[in-house]
Amino acid sequence: MKMKMINVIKSRAVMALLLCFALPPTFADDMATPDEAKAMTEKALAAIGSMGKDKAFAAFADANGDYQEKDLYVFCMDLEGLMLSHAVKPELVGKNLLEFNKYGDLLFQNMIKVAKTDKEGWVDYKWPYPGTEEIKQKTSYVKTSPAGDFYCGVGAYK
């Protein structure tokens, strides 16, 4: 009986060890950094400059393209709060989100202020963490378009 119990414990330990190495990395490993968000914002604005707004917005929406990596995606909004492009929530395009304040921040007003005054910079706010209902700190790097009539941004959790 004692030997049988030892064998069961050994087999469970081996199984647990195998599972640790066989499982994919955790979701947290797929989360981008603020530096990566800034780099993608810069890349998005360069795309707008080289291919034009409409083609760039289509490229941002392509899930298999170069503008959606890890948890990063590009969004663009005019300086009045109208969403022009949103890579993962296209239903927001055409909606005015100037007064959006679901999580305790007027984040789009803050982004517009940065876009108008500094032309680029960081905006901190609260946003639901992917896969949970937990509200966490997030930061987006926003930058005004070459024509100065809208901005684009990419956010990362802090």
Contact 41, 142 (CB under 8 A): yes
Query: Which regions of 83-134 does DSSP assign to beta strands (E)?
Result: 83-86, 120-128
What pLDDT, on the 0 to 100 scale, is given for residue 28? 54
Nearest 5 degrees, angle CA 19-CA 20-CA 24?
Answer: 90
Give me the CATH number covering residue 121.
3.30.450.20
Domain assignment present for residue 12? The answer is no
Q: What is the pLDDT of residues 144-158, one digit of tens each?
A: 999 999 999 999 999
Phi, psi of 62 (to 5 degrees): -75, 110
Angstrom distances, CA of residue 37 to CA of 12, 69, 78, 101, 122 = 42, 10, 20, 22, 10
pLDDT of residue 63: 93
Task: Tell me, yes or no, whether 1 lies in a domain.
Answer: no
Given the DSSP bridges, would you call strands 150-157 and 135-144 parallel, antiparallel or unpaired?
A: antiparallel
Q: In DSSP terms, which residues pair with 96 in a beta bridge?
A: 82
State the burial class of residue 38 (Cβ atoms within 10 Å of its Cβ: 0-12, 13-18, 19+).
Answer: buried
Question: Across the chain, how many H-helices and E-strands are there?
Answer: 4, 7
- Average pLDDT in the chain: 86
Q: Is residue 40 part of a domain?
A: yes
11-20 tens-digit pLDDT = 443 333 333 3
Domain extent for 53? 26-157
Instruction: Look at residue 121 and tell me if it is in a domain.
Output: yes
Indicate the number of domains in the chain.
1
Classify residue 2: in a domain, yes or no: no
pLDDT tens, 11-65?
443 333 333 333 333 355 689 999 999 999 999 999 999 999 999 999 999 999 9
Q: Is residue 13 included in any domain, yes or no?
A: no
